[in-house]
Structure 1
């Protein structure tokens, strides 16, 4: 089942890339390379467009309402694998 029309995917990705972490959005995107949205419940949902989504959940929150541990986990995963929209890597998914 479709959750939403795939044609709006670029708009959603653009939105979370620019405002997904409140006043920490720029720092998040620069250091993780993944557009993502945080929630004040402690969740973080990120996306590498066309490749994958990633999520983590863990309180406590920083001063902007973003999960400290979920941010660290997703950044560590993305950085370890060299993922991110700014690194220029090409990723191939083998079937």
Structure 2
């Protein structure tokens, strides 16, 4: 769920489960995708929920770098330098 709304049949989202690990993929993320996501697991022994607050920062540039295989540490360094440079100009 996103913000208490079921997203299971929304084509913008894909959900995977592999060896009891669940993954949510957000296609072409944008600031609109920010919110609270909830994962609910149910089996014969009961049920459990976990929430995750998600905020999209950096726009598509961050995701393009990530999709091109640039390591997160390199992207983080780049974004920190870019933000520091912007603050110096201000």
TM surpasses 0.5: no
Greater Rg by CA: 2
TM-score by length of 2: 0.27
Report the structure, 1 or 2, having the larger strand content.
2
Report the structure, 1 or 2, having the larger helix content.
1
